[in-house]
Amino acid sequence: MKTVETTKCLHLKSAVTEVAPGSLLINPNWINTSAFRNFDLIDIDNDEAHAANALLLGHSVIYPSSFPRTLEKLVKRNIDVTTVEVSELQKAEGGVTCCSLIFTT
């Protein structure tokens, strides 16, 4: 286990989330990237500070529609993305990771 300190955000998943096996979406301004040196890191767009919060389900990513520049980076890497509107949740630093309930059958 490793401790990872965050800055300028409340939750680790606000700063970094997995978007494909071995690939992480990351805001390098909110977290020390050296903790993730064994991963392929995809930096968010600098103008989209809250854009690192994504939810990987199987082979698809649930992603906020309010971050088009970072979304473009994911699509260019052939990551399957489904966008959702969560702008009201984002006002309280809520994101797709903490505001989702996952059920399997």
User: What is the mean predicted confidence (pLDDT) over 41-56?
Assistant: 96
State the pLDDT at residue 8: 85
Q: How does the average pLDDT of the chain come out, rounded? A: 92
State the pLDDT at residue 88: 85
Measured from the Cβ of residue 60, the count of other Cβ atoms closer than 10 Å reads 14
Tokens for 7? 């800055």
pLDDT per residue as tens digits for the range 60-77: 999 999 999 999 999 999
CA-based max dimension of the chain:
39
State the pLDDT at residue 97: 87
Whether the pLDDT of residue 87 is over 90: the answer is no
Cβ proximity of 64 and 83 under 8 Å: yes
Q: What letter represents residue 58's amino acid?
A: G
Whether the pLDDT of residue 33 is over 80: the answer is yes
Cβ proximity of 42 and 73 under 8 Å: yes
Burial of 28 (0-12, 13-18, 19+ CB in 10 A): middle
Instruction: Round to whole Å and give the CA distance between 96 and 25.
Output: 13
